[in-house]
Structure 1
Amino acid sequence: MNVLDKLKQMFTGHEQQVDKGSDKAADLAKKKAGGKYDQQIDTGRDKLKDQFGTQDRPNG
């Protein structure tokens, strides 16, 4: 079992917490970067949500 599979298993049933945590982490990263990497941070957050969160899910 690789790391991604372990993360998927760990986050199953906690999709809303993943969404909240990724938003908070993105906000902190943007603040620390001073707006310089906002687009890259948003892309990373969106990919995380696509993989583990509720983004684009019918019941999310």
Structure 2
Amino acid sequence: MGLLDNLKAKLGPAKGKVSDLAQQHGDKIDRSLDKVARTVDEKTKGKYSDRIQTGTGKAKGAVDRLAHKDDEGTGPGGTTPGATPGGTPPAGPPPAS
């Protein structure tokens, strides 16, 4: 067994635990990501809003994939080929809460 196979075998149980946590706390994670994005956007005075929104959208997509929320898609892994996971983030700064 190679090094990569050993690593995959040891990380298998951890992936299940992370998936369970993402399912249980996905809404809290999404709210926290929005809050962090809003704070960073304010600190940078909107200079990097587009990049912040892109990163936030990708992070939310990763959480959704971990939680197996994307099973309804059409492509491999449940997403439409070429589609942005979690949809396209809205333009501009994150909404205030």
TM-score when scaled to structure 2? 0.46
Runs of 4 or more off by more than 2 Å in structure 1? 5-12, 53-56
Task: Report the residue type matching 2:54 in the other structure.
Answer: T
The alignment-based identity, stated in percent, is 28
In structure 2, what is the equivalent of residue 44 of structure 1? 55
**Distance change in 2, residues 1:33/1:8 (3 Å):** farther
CA distance in 1, matches of 2:44, 2:58: 19
The structure carrying a bigger helix percent of its residues is: 1
Displacement after TM superposition at 1:11 (Å): 2.8
Count of residues in Structure 1 that have an aligned counterpart in Structure 2: 53
Unaligned stretches of 5+ in structure 1? none
Query: Which of structures 1 and 2 has the bigger CA Rg?
Result: 2
Which is bigger in relative contact order (C-alpha 8 A, separation at least 6)?
A: 1
Q: Which of the residues 12, 24, 28 maps onto 1:17?
A: 28
Unaligned stretches of 5+ in structure 2? 1-10, 70-85, 88-97
Matched, 1:34 2:65: no
- RMSD between aligned residues: 2.2
TM-score when scaled to structure 1? 0.70
